[in-house]
Homo-oligomer: A and B are copies of this chain.
Amino acid sequence: MSTDSAKEAPPPDMLWWGWGTAERHEPLSESTRALLTRMLGIDQEPELPVLPPTPPPTRLTDDAIAHLAANVGSASVATDPASRIAHCRGKSTTDLLRIRRGDAIDAPDAVVYPDSHEQVLAVLQTCVHQHIAVVPFGGGTSVVGGLAPEAGGFAAVIALDLGRMDQLVAVDELSMTATCGPGIRGPRFEELLAGHGLTLGHFPQSFEHASLGGFAATRSSGRASTGYGRFDQMVLGVRVATPVGTWEAGRSPASAAGPDLRQVILGSEGSFGVITQLTVAVRAAPAARRYEGWQVPDFTAGIELLRMLATLDALPTVARLSDEAETLVGLADATLASEQNGGCHLLLGFEGDQDQVSTRSQLVDRHLDGISNIQRKSGLGEGWLAHRYQAPYLRDALLDIGGFVETVETATWWANVPTLYAAVRTAAVQTLTAMATPPLVLCHVSHVYRTGASLYFTVLCKQAEDPVTQWNRAKRDITDAIVAAGGSITHHHAVGTTHRPWLDAEIGELGVRVLTAIKHELDPTGILNPGVLLEPGG
């Protein structure tokens, strides 16, 4: 290891202080700023971060570094500040606020870049012997503290960056499966599949930077999940490196040979092992796409409409319904650009071969055409497609001017959607208003199931003096409200350290005990992502 060798490591994917790349960062428009000033009192001049903070000195001993270098080669162990800062926490708003304010206390002591399953196994052995905590690091896009373990009892912490394990290992065009390394990013995977005329169909907000291994570890769900399914439905096989050896799951499309252990690995958030390879189901790349927009009178009517389509098995590939507030401020197409007229925007997207797209869109049209108080809204689909990966850049620009924005997501059964929707809005408004930063709370439904739907909230307000505490309080009250109202504590963001206090409310005391027993079996010294998903040392 040396600063020299670190130069050979892959460059960090994203800005240390924000989302994505600097080229795509742009200030908010004057009209948006005027809106934010008027509605939320956000009125600072843009101020961009300049110099990254300096991380604390590495706690790794020369002996530990030598052992790690023996595992992966000295060129693959980086302790330089830039590498460490690039792997400090994830991309939640509080993560960004803390690093923007110079707080790099959670920076890993080193970044290690394995290039094979065997190297991962070897690194884990070293970390067991040296009592070093390990953070499996894919795209670095966690928004729930999944990359900031509570590693107080450990000698040091390393980020295990899986970016070099980004091969498309195999494509089986008969079985329609693809096998890849965990570090491959969404766009690269789709690009390689496209060479075979295939697609995965997993397009979450984080798509441009997140990795396949990360999708698996967090039970990610993409914006086209209504049609293509959640990532946990796409994974057919997984290989995991654990401190006690190699674990593989998934031998056939379906099995009755005991519990489905794939579903134990999915969502384990790096706390049971490191995913080193995965096999996913793929599809023919869509030859046709049709996105159409509708204006519906209100959120309740829109939800009822989606429920009807779900019940009739007539769902599109993409279904997004923005509530009145989200529609009003123009976030339905991710532009935050203008005030829209009343009602709610509903986006329906159909993808597939020409025949499927026309059959399915005609079916939906037949159902919708009979409804009197809804109307087509042109341009909505195109606008959303063009801007769908833009929201995190809007956040950066908002933070630049002293605004605060964060998202909260949950899911519930259809019958409970109205209750849950009201509960989250009330909690967010009450708590933030009490802190003298009354928020705008926007919401959309973006993942529709036969039995229920997700609710995705965007909370916008002015930053308080201490915005991290501001949000932690609001988040606590909102999550309490979600639990009380019967929602899931997370629909697709994962548990991390952020949601961990509510995990027992979600899965019960015995559920937590089962997960803890699994962790003890696979990671007896607790080195893997301590405090993420489960209590550290729990």
Contacts and interface: CB of A to CB of B under 8 A. Distances in A.
Interface of A: 172, 174-177, 218-221, 230, 232, 236, 242, 244-249, 251-261, 263-269, 281, 283-284, 307, 310-313, 352-353, 355-356, 359, 363, 410-416, 447, 449-454, 486-495, 499, 503, 506-511, 513-518, 520-522, 533
A490 B256 contact: yes
Contacts of A410: 252
Contacts of A449: 253-254
Contact of A517 (B353, B447, B520): B520
Contact of A284 (B311, B507, B513): B311
Contact of A244 (B269, B489, B510): B510
B415 A174 contact: yes
B260 A176 contact: no
A353 B363 CA distance: 13
B254 A230 contact: yes
A517 B519 CA distance: 9
A263 B259 contact: yes
Q: Which of A410, A487, A489 has the most CB of B within 10 A?
A: A489
11 contacts: A175-B452, A219-B255, A230-B254, A232-B260, A247-B511, A249-B511, A256-B491, A258-B515, A260-B263, A284-B311, A517-B520
Contact of A172 (B353, B413, B491, B494): B413
Contacts of A247: 508, 510-511, 514
A178 B518 CA distance: 31
A306 B37 CA distance: 60
A338 to B, nearest CB: 33
Copies assembled: 2
A260 B253 contact: no
A172 B415 contact: yes
Q: Which of A259, A412, A454, A533 has the most CB of B within 10 A?
A: A259
A274 to B, nearest CB: 13
Contacts of A509: 245
Given A174-B307, A175-B413, A259 B255 contact: no
Nearest to A268: B259
B359 A363 contact: yes
B175 A256 contact: no
Contacts of A221: 254, 256
B313 A258 contact: no
A220 B255 CA distance: 9
Contacts of A513: 244, 521
A221 B355 CA distance: 30
B258 A268 contact: yes
A253 B493 contact: no
B253 A175 contact: no
A332 to B, nearest CB: 23
Nearest to A362: B359
Given A245-B510, A356-B313, A258 B451 contact: no
Contacts of A516: 521
A232 B411 CA distance: 20
Contacts of A356: 313
B267 A264 contact: no
Q: Which of A255, A269, A518 has the most CB of B within 10 A?
A: A255
A514 B518 contact: yes
Contacts of A254: 221, 230, 232, 411, 447, 449, 454, 488, 491-492
Given A257-B489, A259-B518, A518-B518, 10 more contacts: A244-B510, A249-B511, A252-B487, A255-B489, A257-B503, A258-B503, A264-B264, A283-B313, A284-B311, A313-B356
A256 B495 contact: yes
Contacts of A453: 253
A513 B522 CA distance: 9
Contacts of A172: 413, 415
A207 to B, nearest CB: 16
A267 B256 CA distance: 6
B256 A494 contact: yes
A246 B510 CA distance: 7
A267 B263 contact: no
Contact of A511 (B252, B261, B508): B261
A258 B533 contact: yes
Q: Which of A454, A506, A510, A517 has the most CB of B within 10 A?
A: A510
B508 A248 contact: yes
A261 B414 contact: no
A451 B236 contact: yes
Nearest to A177: B451
Nearest to A366: B355
A427 to B, nearest CB: 18
A111 B307 CA distance: 45
A211 to B, nearest CB: 16
